[in-house]
Structure 1
Amino acid sequence: MTLDAQQPHMFIGGAWTAGEGHPLVLRDPATAQPFAEYRGASSAQVAQALDRADAAFPRWAATPARERRALLRDAAARLVERMTPLAAQLTREQGKPLAEAVGEWQAAVDTLIWYADEAVRAYGRLVPARQDGVQQGVQHEPIGPVAAFAPWNFPALTPMRKIGAALAAGCTCIIKPAEETPLSTLAIAQALREAGLPDGVLNVVYGDAPAIAAALIESPLIRKISFTGSTPVGKALAARAGAHAKPLTLELGGHAPVVVFDDADLDLVVRQAGAGKFRNAGQICVAPTRFIVHEAVHDAFVAKLGAYAQALQTGAGAHAGTQMGPLANARRVAHMAALVEDARAGGAVVTTGRTHDGPGFFWPATVLHNLAPDARILHDEPFGPLAPCVRFGHFDEAMRIANGVPFGLAAYCFTRSLDTAHRAGNTLHAGMVGVNTTRVSLPELPFGGVGESGYGREGGVEGLEPYRVTKSVSLAWGAA
């Protein structure tokens, strides 16, 4: 049986499995129309996935790292071969423009290759002993079956970060993609299956999210949890996992500041941060979100960013020329409307880009300034194409505003001064800082935040660490 995008099936124990739980519908965000109907997992099917992941773990953990690397690289090559249809499918289920969908799949493949190669670099070490006849070593072992939860905004890249790391480390994995966007995760499973992944090493389930999360986290078979999503849900999962002393990686919400100093190249800021702001219709956890602009260049910057927003071509992601697609669902549209209404009520000036006539979950690129300090948009993550701008007068004020929210995922600043760049990079409270660039998410760099943006890291040499346990072995012989 092969994967059918019109009637999605789960992947359990190496087989495509029709859901037996409650019914689900996939909708094209560009039209709001359904294009597939399917069913989620029943409790029995979740239990089956747990059993299969547990049974497959000893064999996969014992598989030599070179063999794991070869298999993961084989799967990556298969994804490259079918990237064009995969990108079109991603656009249909999530809405982003086709060029962005291609870029996401390229990033997902790069991530899988990175983790595949890290599998053979998971070194231990010898520690000098205090006496003859003793050897002291430190080694790393896979932690065990993993439960992973992925969101809808990056339906290929985010699952791949979790799948790639878990499998490279020698863990088995049960992943629950978002119910709105399961197809890309299923495509990853299909490529891995074709590459020869043993049955049960990867399992994909979806459906009743709270019930599935409870079953996976509370199961004694699960040894590690990875979650990407909202801060409230992440906190709830952390509390549940804490009751069972299970380690988590949490990548939660963000509200990334962009500090624009008076010596910044404003055209560069608009090209970099403007593109980053409106990519994926702003539905990115590391998206530039709050533009904190020196008073000397504030008005000029707002004018340039407003012109950039007004020039963006909004439309269906599959259409040629579209630069910004729809939001993922109707909930996002309602949230944008509420934030803009609140800002207007406080006296904000609002500049909107081109609107899209017709059905679908669209919101225009929007720039706001003259905001009241208590405007919701300055404190609540918009996760959409809204760009609020505020003024600052001196360095300390800029840092106070930038660090004035509980989130700390990404932060950016633009300046020509090396001194200011160093000071800002050291002062901004975030897990990732970009200076004169917004490109902070790459497979070779650690990805994660501080504060209410979560803890733990994905990517970089740190990426395998959460999926391994560290063991010291002290071996004595002779008369030691």
Structure 2
Amino acid sequence: MQTQQYDSLYLFINGQWLSAGDRETSAVINPANGTTLGRLPLATNADLDQALITAGESFPVWRNTVPDDRARIMKKAAALMRERAEHIATLMTLEEGKPLSESRDEVQRAADYFEWFAEEARRIDGRVVPANRPGVQQLVKRQAIGPVAAFTPWNFPAITPARKLSAALAAGCSVILKPGEESPATALALARCLDEAGLPKGVLQIVFGVPDKVSSKLITSPIIRKVAFTGSVPVGRLLSERAAAGVKPISLELGGHGPVLVFEDADIEEAATNGAANRFRGTGQICISSTRFLVQRNAYERFVQRFVEATENLVIGDGMEPGTQVGPLANERQLEKMAALVEDAVTQGATVLTGGKRINRSGFFFEPTVLANVPMSARIMHEEPFGPIAIMRPFDTIKDGLEEANRLPYALSAYAFTSSARTALDVGDGLEAGMIGINQYRIIATELPFGGMKESGHGSEGGREGIAPYLTNKFISQI
């Protein structure tokens, strides 16, 4: 079944839009009502072989395209994304479930990345190094690393592919992208913008399939020179092993379990109200989302009361409905995971302050949930929930707060709220995270690096740092 607003689905290989034909397909489900939006063609082994061959053949063509021309194509693609923003946002909400307002914002920010890295393409420079011998010229050049295999999840189907594609294309790399199979139409819409903007045929391939099969085929191919992955820690470890076998660099943006330190001198009302909005944005399916709210004891009761009130005032519904603030989870697996995490915590003594169960309606809806008195033995104190569950926990001193904030191997994002400049400096230095927000939850910007530490990954996307993983240094000494 194909809905009127939803695009037909394809593979994009060697500049050709390939329909299902006799290929295996998988259903794309609208998480708000459980209906089938379309059938997604899955790449055959021959399809993947063709994608690899094409990526290898197109790489020197694109690498040797002058930066101005690469930038012009990328900017034109960004303009097409903006022209088609409403349609792309609709696709995103239908297949991923987030409110339409969030989808619109995501499309605009995806376009921003293409514009930003279009300009970075013009700034790929090197240097002349004075020689210690007469008559010798020493040059350091930065050049595109080669064909890239990129893997992105379903939760941000525009901005996550955009970060990888924009940087890789700006550097001069060809790319094979495998987006999440739950939300394929959004990535295909971006690819169509690039294609119509004049990207040479074969520079970009979009494939779908069984994740383990596709990743194994692409990463182990000698054609691929660089791997980029956004997803879970266990899968990140697996792909790292595959990349290491071929001595290939890999950029990893993995999970998080974002701590929020709220000190008693903070604006408690603002920290709590905005904290609830941030926690349940995207139905909590955001890697940088705030999950563990660590509140100084004298402010704990006030914060929790306001947070619960704000949570209960959130509007839950189909993302296509005006006013919706919290949409459905992405799939049935996510629902089962949320129920299991809550049950485990409650069995061990946690208190459900609000929410805690599946909503009795069609689609994959789970109540925004706030837990308190969660014992350290509960799974949710160690596992990234990646769903609409918030944890409340008091602390006494800044030392106590930092110890709990830094306890886990995750180190993607962290937040702190205080009116003290001294405390802000201390927590900024003391928090172990790749991205930190002080007195704010919105910390992502096109011009800034996006990435984590520890088991949350390595490498950065966005900002001037974002293009570096797609470049390699070449030293030339010439007499």
Please state which band the TM-score falls in when normalised by the shorter chain.
over 0.9
- Within 1, Cα distance between the matches of 2:26 and 2:12? 16
Q: Does 1:310 align with 2:312?
A: yes
Q: Is the 1:446–1:460 contact (alpha carbons within 8 Å) kept by the matching residues of 2?
A: yes
Q: Per-residue deviation at 1:5?
A: 4.2
- Which ranges of structure 2 fall in alignment gaps of 5 or more residues? none
Q: Per-residue deviation at 1:177?
A: 0.5
Q: Is the 2:273–2:306 contact (alpha carbons within 8 Å) kept by the matching residues of 1?
A: no
Q: Does 1:204 align with 2:203?
A: no
For 1:390-405, what aligned pairs fall within 5 Å after superposition? 390-405=393-408
Cross-structure match for 2:106: 104
- Within 1, Cα distance between the matches of 2:314 and 2:396? 31
In the superposition, the TM-score normalised over structure 1's length comes to 0.97
Q: Does 1:183 align with 2:185?
A: yes
Q: Per-residue deviation at 1:268?
A: 1.9
For 1:5-404, what aligned pairs fall within 5 Å after superposition? 5-19=6-20, 20-352=22-354, 356-404=359-407
- Within 2, Cα distance between the matches of 1:258 and 1:127? 46
Q: Is the 1:22–1:208 contact (alpha carbons within 8 Å) kept by the matching residues of 2?
A: no
Q: Per-residue deviation at 1:364?
A: 1.2
- Within 1, Cα distance between the matches of 2:398 and 2:478? 56
Note the alpha carbon deviations across 1:251-304, whole angstroms, 9 max, x for none: 001001000011111122124322211110000000001001101111110000
- Within 2, Cα distance between the matches of 1:174 and 1:203? 5
Cross-structure match for 2:437: 434
SS state of the match for residue 216, structure 1? helix
SS state of the match for residue 63, structure 1? coil
Q: Is the 1:314–1:356 contact (alpha carbons within 8 Å) kept by the matching residues of 2?
A: no
Opposite residue 11 of structure 2, the aligned amino acid is M
- Within 2, Cα distance between the matches of 1:138 and 1:66? 21
Q: Does 1:470 align with 2:454?
A: no
- Within 2, Cα distance between the matches of 1:84 and 1:71? 22
Q: Per-residue deviation at 1:357?
A: 4.3
Q: Does 1:452 align with 2:458?
A: no
- Within 1, Cα distance between the matches of 2:359 and 2:333? 18
- Within 2, Cα distance between the matches of 1:240 and 1:56? 24
SS state of the match for residue 175, structure 1? strand
Q: Per-residue deviation at 1:9?
A: 0.7
Note the alpha carbon deviations across 1:188-232, whole angstroms, 9 max, x for none: 110011011101000000012111111100000000000000000
SS state of the match for residue 285, structure 1? coil
Opposite residue 14 of structure 1, the aligned amino acid is G
Q: Per-residue deviation at 1:406?
A: 0.6
Note the alpha carbon deviations across 1:149-169, whole angstroms, 9 max, x for none: 000000000011111111000
- Within 2, Cα distance between the matches of 1:447 and 1:35? 32
In the superposition, the TM-score normalised over structure 2's length comes to 0.97
SS state of the match for residue 141, structure 2? strand
Opposite residue 16 of structure 1, the aligned amino acid is W
Opposite residue 81 of structure 1, the aligned amino acid is E
Q: Is the 1:314–1:355 contact (alpha carbons within 8 Å) kept by the matching residues of 2?
A: no
Q: Per-residue deviation at 1:351?
A: 2.4
Note the alpha carbon deviations across 1:67-89, whole angstroms, 9 max, x for none: 10010000000110011111111
Q: Is the 2:372–2:393 contact (alpha carbons within 8 Å) kept by the matching residues of 1?
A: yes
Q: Is the 1:175–1:205 contact (alpha carbons within 8 Å) kept by the matching residues of 2?
A: yes
Q: Per-residue deviation at 1:346?
A: 2.0
Cross-structure match for 1:410: 413
- Runs of 4+ in structure 1 deviating by more than 4 angstroms, as ranges, are 353-357
Q: Is the 1:370–1:390 contact (alpha carbons within 8 Å) kept by the matching residues of 2?
A: yes
Q: Is the 2:11–2:41 contact (alpha carbons within 8 Å) kept by the matching residues of 1?
A: no
Report the number of matched residues.
Answer: 474
Cross-structure match for 2:464: 461
- Within 2, Cα distance between the matches of 1:288 and 1:72? 33
Q: Is the 2:275–2:307 contact (alpha carbons within 8 Å) kept by the matching residues of 1?
A: no
- Within 2, Cα distance between the matches of 1:101 and 1:27? 17
Q: Is the 1:21–1:207 contact (alpha carbons within 8 Å) kept by the matching residues of 2?
A: no
Note the alpha carbon deviations across 1:374-408, whole angstroms, 9 max, x for none: 22111110001101011101111101100010100
Note the alpha carbon deviations across 1:173-198, whole angstroms, 9 max, x for none: 00001111111110011001101110
SS state of the match for residue 464, structure 2? coil
Opposite residue 173 of structure 1, the aligned amino acid is V
Q: Is the 2:339–2:358 contact (alpha carbons within 8 Å) kept by the matching residues of 1?
A: no
